Amino acid sequence: MFRFLTAGESHGPGLTIMVEGLPAGLNVSEEDIKIDLQRRQKGFGRGGRMKIEKDHAYFKSGVRHGLTLGSPISLWIENIDFKNWTDAMSPYPVDESVDKKEFSKTVPGHADFVGALKFKQHDLRNVLERASARETTSRVAAGSLCKSLLKKLNISIKSRVLSIGEVTSDDIDQKLENVDWDQTEISEVRSSSKNMDEKFKDAILSSKRNKTTIGGIFQVVAFNSPVGLGNFSQWDRKLDGKIAQAMMSINAVKGVEIGNGFANTKKPGSEVQDVIIPDKEDRRNFKHITNHAGGLEGGVTNGEPIVVNVAIKPIATLAKPLPSVDINTGEIIEAQYNRSDVCQVPPACVIGEAMMSLILTESIIEKFGGDHIDELIMNFSNFIKSHNEFGKK
């Protein structure tokens, strides 16, 4: 069984990641992980924190001479900002005179209100530190390890920003095979259309000027997934459900759409089903002429690209705070303001890629098994080969 766990507070000493169930013999490197960590740190609209952090994940176990051992892999990412928080975030008891950076002014839309009541915390920092999106660094590190496995199977994952606030990309209806994914990597706002960079940046700048924040929609696509991941036989085995849960778990995400989920509701059934045709050049011998279903039918991959669109709300922490309540006195106050980002949609793309990688890896390991990567690849290849028998009678 594949699983992963993360631990760590935003301003604590660092982040710990545990990944269990990857096969032995897989080539992994800190430098590969760093590429994704750096991609997540970028993005127009980030706050001051990203100037401090230089995220690097160190292998602490489960890897020897660059190869996985099949044992649990643990990783450690240092929070460089901890040097400014050593007393406030110390794991050990501190003197009464120490500034613990406590606060009790709740922020509407943040986890601090529910967390305070749930965990009986009178210092909201005890909630904020773990609820912070700093945790997503860990997911990106774990997801990056999974990308090494997916690469062996020729599966790749891409992401881009579709909209920021009211501004929607002009290539939103572009066929996936024509999307300029390379442009996304050089764009400060992870846009696949050059025309959109300034427009998205203007929207972010305008939010900053208005001392508010701005959300958007991003897209994650997995290319070259085999047919047959996930299972329609039981509700909790459906892959679309697992992907939706994984995306929804990203901080501030409030909506997940598979394929053209919402647009399909406005069309007749005859226009939204993806017609299947024979295709001798394809490894499955079949293909769909459209992909409205986003690569998933009955919760099972159908071999088309897996397409997920994710709605992420504007960050709760506002430079011009909303009215709120003090959790300890019950008084009406102005919400707490801490340094924060204005727009997190571009980095959220990279986090979405990580979540997709983790879910696909789990599903691939479940289906193809194997304790060594060679065994997994053999099982995978045999399954793909068996598709040659279909459609030939």
Task: Compute the residue count for the chain.
Answer: 393
Q: Are 315 and 17 in contact (CB under 8 A)?
A: no
How far is C-alpha 62 from the geometric centre of its chain's CA atoms?
A: 24
Does residue 132 belong to the site contacting ligand EPS (CB under 6 A)?
A: yes
Q: Give burial (CB, 10 Å; 0-12/13-18/19+) of 266.
A: exposed
Indicate the residue among 130 and 237 with the shorter CB distance to ligand EPS: 130
Indicate the residue among 23 and 45 with the shorter CB distance to ligand EPS: 45
- CA 191, 196, 200, 201 dihedral sign is positive
Query: And the tokens for 21?
Result: 């169930």
Kindly indicate which of the ranges 112-120, 132-140, 256-264, 285-293 contains the residues binding ligand EPS, using the contact rule CB under 6 A. 132-140
Alpha-carbon gap, residue 346 to 45, rounded angstroms: 9
Does residue 260 belong to the site contacting ligand EPS (CB under 6 A)?
A: no
Does residue 134 belong to the site contacting ligand EPS (CB under 6 A)?
A: yes
Q: Which backbone phi and psi does 222 adopt, to 5 degrees?
A: -110, 120
Indicate the residue among 49 and 287 with the shorter CB distance to ligand EPS: 49
Kindly indicate which of the ranges 13-21, 45-53, 86-94, 254-262 contains the residues binding ligand EPS, using the contact rule CB under 6 A. 45-53
Alpha-carbon gap, residue 105 to 318, rounded angstroms: 13
**Restricting to residues 49-108, which ones interact with ligand EPS according to CB under 6 A?**
49, 53, 81
Q: Are 72 and 24 in contact (CB under 8 A)?
A: no
Alpha-carbon gap, residue 198 to 202, rounded angstroms: 6
Contact residue for ligand EPS among 51, 120, 175, 339 (CB under 6 A): 339
Kindly indicate which of the ranges 232-240, 278-286, 297-305, 333-341 contains the residues binding ligand EPS, using the contact rule CB under 6 A. 333-341
> Nearest residue by C-beta to ligand EPS?
49
Indicate the residue among 51 and 175 with the shorter CB distance to ligand EPS: 51
Contact residue for ligand EPS among 14, 21, 47, 255 (CB under 6 A): 47
What is the b/e burial string over 169-191, where b = at least 16 CB atoms within 10 angstroms of the residue's CB? bebbeeeeeebbeebbeebebbb
Query: And the tokens for 182?
Result: 């390379």
- CA 68, 70, 71, 75 dihedral sign is positive
Kindly indicate which of the ranges 201-209, 230-238, 325-333, 335-343 contains the residues binding ligand EPS, using the contact rule CB under 6 A. 335-343
Indicate the residue among 53 and 123 with the shorter CB distance to ligand EPS: 53
Whole-number minimum distance, CB 132 to ligand EPS, in Å?
4
- In Å, what is the CA distance from 35 to each residue of 45, 81, 358? 20, 21, 17
Q: What share of the chain is helix, strand, coil (3-state, %, to 5)?
A: 35, 20, 45
Query: And the tokens for 330?
Result: 């019950």
**Restricting to residues 1-20, which ones interact with ligand EPS according to CB under 6 A?**
10
Indicate the residue among 53 and 274 with the shorter CB distance to ligand EPS: 53
Nearest to 94 by CA among 84, 86, 102: 86
Query: Distance from first CA to last CA of the chain, Å, rounded?
Result: 37
What is the b/e burial string over 342-354, where b = at least 16 CB atoms within 10 angstroms of the residue's CB? bbbbbbbbbbbbb
Does residue 125 belong to the site contacting ligand EPS (CB under 6 A)?
A: no
Does residue 133 belong to the site contacting ligand EPS (CB under 6 A)?
A: yes
Total site size for ligand EPS, rule CB under 6 A:
13
Whole-number minimum distance, CB 96 to ligand EPS, in Å?
25
Whole-number minimum distance, CB 206 to ligand EPS, in Å?
20
**Restricting to residues 182-201, which ones interact with ligand EPS according to CB under 6 A?**
none
Provide the greatest CA pair distance for the chain.
82
Indicate the residue among 9 and 257 with the shorter CB distance to ligand EPS: 9
Indicate the residue among 32 and 81 with the shorter CB distance to ligand EPS: 81
Indicate the residue among 230 and 347 with the shorter CB distance to ligand EPS: 347
Indicate the residue among 142 and 296 with the shorter CB distance to ligand EPS: 142
Kindly indicate which of the ranges 86-94, 133-141, 144-152, 153-161 contains the residues binding ligand EPS, using the contact rule CB under 6 A. 133-141
**Restricting to residues 373-392, which ones interact with ligand EPS according to CB under 6 A?**
none
Q: Which residues bind ligand EPS (CB under 6 A)?
A: 10, 47, 49, 53, 81, 132-134, 137, 338-341
